[in-house]
Amino acid sequence: MPNPTAAMLVIGDEILSGRTRDANMYFLAGELTKHGIDLREVRVVSDDAPAIEAAVKALSETFDHVFTSGGIGPTHDDITADCIARAFDDHIDIRADARALLETHYQRTGLELNAARLRMARIPDSATLIDNPVSTAPGFTIRNVHVMAGVPSVFQAMVASVLPTLTGGQPLLSQTLRIDRGEGDIAETLSGLAADFPDLTIGCYPFQINGAFGANVVVRGTDGARIDAAITRLARDTAG
């Protein structure tokens, strides 16, 4: 059976403007790889309601899981929760279970649970909460979409909460071989290798050091023995 598939939707003007560098995609890709879920697509959209709704619906229909990042905080531009509720034609309002979590948290910290902070308790009716051990305000899962914060520490904690609830497949393994020859010199060898190992993914990543060209060839797959065989053959065919 093939591994489950996933997409990520990164939401926020600050990403597209270059003001903030996204770290969540890198983290999610690594965690999904270990869990045996194949990340197939990543989209970035602005804080624009129609764009968010359209992207969520399209990705949800295409992949087994969708992970969103950003736009579920207390400010006016945090519109993700409302957009996703509309995308799935679900009612959204302040939920008692989410409100109770925030009330306990703010009582403990001595801060006021004001109207802005209470916005983080707006959850679609059919959603289940995603635990947030860092700052308490929950994410949520609705259908196959997992809605999480954009702050990296919170995003990572939410991913850790969600992943154990998902059925994964075979973890993706990889090996890398450095070849001190240019891409043009090894292209034909790589084509033959890819044809003979169709169950593996073979990537070629060139570099240049002190004027000399080379490439790191990465072989990926779920069968360690097949990867070993491919790397062994590649090393033999590119030796000398």
The domain that holds 182 is classified in CATH as 3.30.70.600
Would you call 168 helix, strand, or coil by DSSP? coil
| Owning domain of residue 211 | 173-237
What is the rounded CA–CA span in Å between residue 67 and residue 27? 12
Tokens in use for 129?
């909460």
pTM comes to 0.88
**Average pLDDT of the residues in 209-231:** 94
Beta strands in 128-185 (DSSP E): 128-130, 139-142, 145-148, 173-179
What are the tens digits of pLDDT across the range 204-213? Answer: 999 999 989 9
Q: Are residues 151 and 182 in the same domain?
A: no
Q: Are residues 26 and 121 in the same domain?
A: yes
Q: Are residues 88 and 202 in the same domain?
A: no
pLDDT at 239: 87
Tokens in use for 61?
């229909």
Q: Are residues 159 and 184 in the same domain?
A: no
**Average pLDDT of the residues in 92-121:** 95
* Bridging pattern class, strands 5-11 and 38-45: parallel
| 21 vs 145, residue with greater confidence | 145
The CATH number of the domain holding residue 149 is: 3.40.980.10
**Average pLDDT of the residues in 90-108:** 96
Whether pLDDT at 2 is above 90: no
Binned at pLDDT 50, 70 and 90, residue 1 comes out as confident
What is the rounded CA–CA span in Å between residue 148 and residue 154? 8
Binned at pLDDT 50, 70 and 90, residue 12 comes out as very high
Name residue 148's beta-bridge partners. Answer: 69
Among 119, 135, 165, the domain-final residue is: 165
How remote is the C-alpha of 137 from its chain's centroid?
Answer: 20
Q: Are residues 197 and 84 in the same domain?
A: no
Number of domains comprising the chain: 2
**Average pLDDT of the residues in 208-219:** 94
Q: Are residues 181 and 122 in the same domain?
A: no
Binned at pLDDT 50, 70 and 90, residue 128 comes out as very high
Q: Are residues 76 and 185 in the same domain?
A: no
Q: Are residues 10 and 105 in the same domain?
A: yes
Among 165, 199, 214, the domain-final residue is: 165
Task: Report the mean per-residue pLDDT for the chain.
Answer: 95
Q: Are residues 95 and 157 in the same domain?
A: yes
**Average pLDDT of the residues in 37-55:** 97
Q: Are residues 161 and 177 in the same domain?
A: no
Residue count of the chain, please give it: 240
Whether pLDDT at 240 is above 70: no
Among 116, 134, 165, the domain-final residue is: 165
Q: Note whether 82 and 76 are within 8 A (CB).
A: no
Q: Are residues 232 and 147 in the same domain?
A: no
**Average pLDDT of the residues in 77-89:** 96
Name residue 89's beta-bridge partners. Answer: none
Q: Are residues 117 and 214 in the same domain?
A: no
Distances 97 to 25, 112, 158, 209, 219 between C-alpha atoms, Å: 29, 18, 17, 57, 46
